[in-house]
């Protein structure tokens, strides 16, 4: 029988703890009943897969008897945190407010976590009081030795972004005073900000609070999964469909599977070991990827959405395009050659004029050999007229040449 791990042992085994502020925290994590918080700035109107890993840590702690609070930084989002690569663009206040509203609803739905906004307690803060009450207690040398600040100093950092860690430290103090928060968790790139809050609380109250950081979720090249890296996979189903999420997870590299199963699922150690054993014996079956996709999509969306994603994938593999919801056609075929269909045209002319075939002769050859498909149907009639009547819901015509070459025709709005 598998020996049950403590909360801390489980987090370490899953690779979910990088830095820890005090060894005393280990026992507190194992005993439950801490009120803790994690934060995110509303720079987008949805969380992405990079956030998901951190939020699952909050969910794991919640299951172990701890009490999570999410801080969405309406104030810090207006300031911007140092990235170590360059200054962020100035954020629009209305966009930040709208993003907060959407993130709050998303987090409460997905994770059942209480959500607060630091703009609520910063909007009336007097600048002189802020410097006297908090700025006096944090040494500049302490701030410039934090990794992200140190890196950005080489290329230039604004006073606003330099102040970010002090603002986040005050957040910890406010939540400690008003909600009884004694632990903050966050990504490893936030370690300097996490410890600043510990320092402020210690100097102002003499009390000890805690923090631990979580290694960033990365792909096989070590590239962070996130919006700033241009590879965001969103948790909002309207921004990233369950099918797209399924494809993303199903196509991840074998080398990352064990780490991702530990990080992104609640499967036990023995379950993951068994899955990896099966996977390594027959990697072509992609057992680990399929399991990962099932666990993640079921958790974020539902079992029904997972099954739909599998059905769409099978329909696409078999060429049965009509089984795919029309609203997903544009997304699924976003990277293939697009054709504007703005007139009636004979199929031979259509194939040649849109460079699907190199000539009318080649078009006839492909048609005669049964190698042209429209919306999944094999086309052998050289006299077929391509027009709006062929379109799925009067919008899309999916053309396939041979086994894998796709084109997307879109009916022009004329």
- Check which CATH number belongs to the domain holding 118 and give it: 3.40.50.620
Instruction: Note down the domain range covering 354.
Output: 337-411
Give the angle 161-166-170 at the CA atoms, nearest 5°.
Answer: 135
Is the pLDDT reported for residue 160 higher than 90? no
* Spatial contact of 133 and 52, defined as CB atoms under 8 Å apart: no
Helix axis angle, 49-63 relative to 93-111, nearest 10°? 50
Mark whether 300 and 345 lie in a shared domain. no
Mark whether 20 and 159 lie in a shared domain. yes
Please compute the mean of the pLDDT values over residues 335-342 and round it to a whole number.
88
Of 265, 289, 318, the position where a domain reaches its end is 318
Q: Does residue 206 sit within a domain?
A: yes
Helices assigned H by DSSP within 74-190: 76-79, 93-111, 119-122, 127-133, 140-144, 147-153, 159-162, 164-179
Among 16-30, 255-269, 324-338, which is the least confidently predicted range?
324-338
3-state DSSP assignment of residue 383: coil
Number of domains in the chain: 3
Q: Does residue 142 sit within a domain?
A: yes
| pLDDT tens, position by position, 178-211 | 999 999 999 998 898 999 999 999 999 999 999 9
Is the pLDDT reported for residue 125 higher than 90? yes
Given strand 372-374, what is the order of strands in its sheet? 337-341, 405-411, 396-401, 372-374, 377-378
Mark whether 23 and 171 lie in a shared domain. yes
- Residues of the chain above pLDDT 90, percent: 70
| pLDDT tens, position by position, 238-247 | 899 999 899 9
Q: Does residue 324 sit within a domain?
A: no
Residues 6 or more apart whose CB falls under 8 angstroms from that of 272 comprise 258, 261, 262, 265
Mark whether 65 and 169 lie in a shared domain. yes
Q: Does residue 325 sit within a domain?
A: no
Place of tokens 């609380």: 201
Place of tokens 């996490």: 194
Mark whether 175 and 65 lie in a shared domain. yes
Q: Does residue 343 sit within a domain?
A: yes
Q: Does residue 310 sit within a domain?
A: yes
Q: How far apart are CA 183 and CA 31, in angstroms?
A: 14
Q: Does residue 226 sit within a domain?
A: no
Q: Does residue 237 sit within a domain?
A: no
| pLDDT tens, position by position, 352-377 | 999 999 999 999 999 999 999 999 99
- Check which CATH number belongs to the domain holding 402 and give it: 3.10.290.10
Output the pLDDT for position 364. 94
Mark whether 206 and 246 lie in a shared domain. no
- Check which CATH number belongs to the domain holding 281 and give it: 1.10.240.10
Place of tokens 């993640």: 296
């Amino acid at each position: 029988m598998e020996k049950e791990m403590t909360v801390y042992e489980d987090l370490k085994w899953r690779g979910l703890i990088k830095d820890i502020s005090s060894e005393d925290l280990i026992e507190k994590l194992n005993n439950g009943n801490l009120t803790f918080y994690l934060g995110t700035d509303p720079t987008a109107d949805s969380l992405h897969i990079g956030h998901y890993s951190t939020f699952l840590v909050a969910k794991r702690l919640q299951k172990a008897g701890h009490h999570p609070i999410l801080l969405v930084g309406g104030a810090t989002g207006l300031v911007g945190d140092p990235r170590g690569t360059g200054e962020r663009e100035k954020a629009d206040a209305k966009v930040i407010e709208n993003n907060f509203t959407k993130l709050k609803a998303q987090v409460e739905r997905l994770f059942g976590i209480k959500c607060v906004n630091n703009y609520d307690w910063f909007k009336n803060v007097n600048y002189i009081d802020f410097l006297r009450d908090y700025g006096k207690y944090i040494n500049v040398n302490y701030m410039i030795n934090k990794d992200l600040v140190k890196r950005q100093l080489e290329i230039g950092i604004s006073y606003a972004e330099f102040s970010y860690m002090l603002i986040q430290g005050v957040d910890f103090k406010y939540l400690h005073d008003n909600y009884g928060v004694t632990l903050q968790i966050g990504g490893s790139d936030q370690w300097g900000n996490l410890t600043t809050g510990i320092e402020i609380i210690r100097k102002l109250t003499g009390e000890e609070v805690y923090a631990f950081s979580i290694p960033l979720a990365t792909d096989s090249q070590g590239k962070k999964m996130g919006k700033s890296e241009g590879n965001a996979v969103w948790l909002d189903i309207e921004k990233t469909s369950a099918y797209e999420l399924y494809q993303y997870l199903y196509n991840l590299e074998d080398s990352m599977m064990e780490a991702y199963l530990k990080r992104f699922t609640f499967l036990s150690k023995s379950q993951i070991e068994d899955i990896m054993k099966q996977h390594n014996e027959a990697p072509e079956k992609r057992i680990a990827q399929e399991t990962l996709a099932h666990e993640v999509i079921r958790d974020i969306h539902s079992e029904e959405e997972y099954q739909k994603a599998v059905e769409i994938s099978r329909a696409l593999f078999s060429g049965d395009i009509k089984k795919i919801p029309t609203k997903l056609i544009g997304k699924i075929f976003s990277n293939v050659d697009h054709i504007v269909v703005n007139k009636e045209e004979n199929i031979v002319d259509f194939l040649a004029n849109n460079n699907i075939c190199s000539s009318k002769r080649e078009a006839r050859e492909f048609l005669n050999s049964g190698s042209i498909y429209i919306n999944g149907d094999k086309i052998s009639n050289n006299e077929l007229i391509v027009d709006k009547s062929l379109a799925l819901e009067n919008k899309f015509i999916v053309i396939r040449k041979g086994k894998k070459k796709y084109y997307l025709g879109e009916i022009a709005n004329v």
